[in-house]
Structure 1
Amino acid sequence: MLIGRERLLEEESKRLAPYAQKARDTRGRKHPEPESPYRTPYQKDRDRILHTTAFRRLEYKTQVFPNWAGDYYRTRLTHTLEVVQVARSIARALGLNEDLTEAIALSHDLGHPPFGHTGEKVLNQLMRDHGGFEHNAQALRILTQLEVRYPGFKGLNLTHEVLEGIATHEAAYAPGFKPEYEGRGTLEAQVVDLSDAIAYAAHDLDDGLRSGLLRPEELNGVTLLQELAREEGLDLQRFTELSRRILVRQLLGFLITAAIEATHAAVEGSGVRNAEDVRRHPKRLAALTPEAEQAHRELKAFLMERFYRHPEVLRERRKAEIVLENLFSTYTRYPELLPKEVQARIPEEGLERAVCDYLAGMTDRYALEAYRKLFP
């Protein structure tokens, strides 16, 4: 039996919820091109993203711990894959378009520079007089300009809905990023946004405990973790590796279930009838239950105080600041040190933006190696 694109689109239209974004209803691509005979537009987008250089580089970009800290800590790539898992689980339960959800989730962090959010803040400061830097905007630059894989256009020529999902991605630390897309995005995009917050809260807790920077007894200060530990019969004073895995698994299950139930209730109560209604709705519909939202905020505050601001984490962040600041200063002062392909973009992009794009594309270890070559 051969299943072609038209059959996939027909089955999708019958199976998905009315408020889901159907691939048949896509607003299309900037540059018209033939579609695949055996893939929907969003499946084609997902595959294009997976094969980008930017996606492969995520393996060596920081989540919290730098890449050299150990083989078991999350990287930006494993974080992305965990966001995909959470987002697809929620999307499936709500009758959303899983292919679109996956494509947005796979691309949502492509614009992150080396050294995580520290790298983003440093580049934004260095670029303050040249348009700033924000990782969502950078992801759009990568997907629409910097990845060159086709002779007829720059970028990947993704569908409107995938690019919209990146542009409407909310982040509290975003320094004034103003996308060209109106509305709150599809429900698929909103689910990816929520899944990002769920995934990093759970896996950062896991990495903090594994590293020893967080002590199990400290978890008594977080009501939800205390309750989950009690339900599973876990002793926070005698915490084993298996205990940690059980606790993180239960935390993820609790937050995913809360996201499904709260989002479904919000959609049912909103009166939205299609994807356009979702975009125009005055509030974001993807949410946690009030109980889970309060617990999630408490957990994030705990991680901020005890983990993200831990002296060992801050020490690595300061190293990252020194590396990026000195690389930026050197390359803007001596652009002849840049690779030829980067130099070629200076007339069109400007020196500072070309350098910023170059630094943002670096992995942690590539940035360190470039620093060592300049400052042995």
Structure 2
Amino acid sequence: MVDRIMNEEQRDIVDLAKGILEKELVPQLEECDKTSRFPTDVFQSLFKAGLYAVEVPEEYGGLGMNFETQFLLNETLGYYDTGFAFSFHAGSMSADSIFIGGTEEQKRWASEQLLAGKVFAFCLTEPAAGSDAGAITTTAKRDGDEYIINGNKTFISCGEIADYFIVAATIDKSLKHKGITLFLVEKERGVQIGKHEDKMGLRLSPTNEVIFDEIRVPADHIIGREGKGFSIVMKNMEAVRPQTMTFAAGLMMRAVDEATRFAKERTSFNMPIIKFQGLSFLLADMLKLTQVSHGTLMYIARLLDEKQPLNGMGASAKIFISESASQVASHAVQVLGGYGYIKDYPVEKLMRDAKIFEIFEGTNQIQQVVLAGLLSKSDK
């Protein structure tokens, strides 16, 4: 129901992904949702098709896919399952900090790993430090030519499937944000994977506690310089937030399709229920929010491709699209009525999956703080 304008190359990429997902993901989707399992076989099929780590720059051997095409691909992945889509993308997106603040050698190394299908996980959040990144307690102490990392990270996407971790640690707690430093840590250095979180939604995306206990890494594993980690993270998040919302947009497209299909087939009082104005207006609202969300993302993609500043658009889009996704999913359940509330139909899952988009990548309330801060700093 949601028309997307694509060129021939973009259409081929989207169709390639759809073919793999319909053949390999859809048949096992219900089981994966029940057991909270990430289907690595589907990951491998998409990787072999050349659809993993598509953002790796051409100069490092990658496709260097532009943001517009990435966003269209992400929406397609999200249409079939937001949890799988998010982790499939996060596995490479977590290495973005290296491309932002790393050395030339680190960028080339990361590119080689990504193009070989390796998975990265970004470790920032802690049990007592979420939105307030300056409150992290994971430490990194210099010991000769090495750093010793100690601390626990929580709600880490891709934790159990990751080969490498980008870890935010402080070199001096008294410095708060200015002490945060990013480190590249290989799993084989002794990283421990803790609890697999049993989540309400996004269940195909593994979320874990990750434990760093006396983990030694060479000094050349710093990304950027000591104390520059926070600035790298903030620069990265400006683009990450709208990228993540592409999966929510895909979910909304799926909700529109499922609700519309049901409303056309379900009859009441001898007519399809889509003919009843009250219900048709619910569908109209769903389509409205979905179209505007998609259009907003395409505008942001253009800004990113042209290397223009977003000036708060990332935060605004995150708020609007995530709230819209929850509303659209809720409307889909309402359209299906009692059927929408049972697991035999897909919309109850869409409703469960939608909520997280208002929470992660910085809660919507934090995004409002960001936007208010921009206004307070702007010239009158």
TM-score, normalised to structure 1, is 0.30
Greater relative CO (CA pairs within 8 A, separation 6+):
1
The structure that is helix-richer by fraction is: 1
Q: Which structure shows the higher strand fraction?
A: 2
